[in-house]
Amino acid sequence: MPKTLDITQTIKDTSGTATTLMSKTLSVASEDVKSSEMAIIANQTDKLINFAMDVSQNKVLVLLSTQNCTIETNSGSSPGATITLVANKPLVWHDASYFTHPFGSTDVTALYITNVLALTLTIIALDDITP
Across the chain, mean pLDDT equals 86
pLDDT at residue number 4: 40
Assign 17 a pLDDT band (cuts: 50, 70, 90).
confident
pLDDT at residue number 2: 37
Provide the CATH number for the domain formed by 32-127 in this structure: 2.60.120.10
Between strands 7-16 and 21-30, the pairing is antiparallel
The beta strand positions in the chain, using DSSP E, are: 7-16, 21-30, 32-40, 44-49, 58-65, 69-73, 82-85, 91-94, 111-115, 119-127
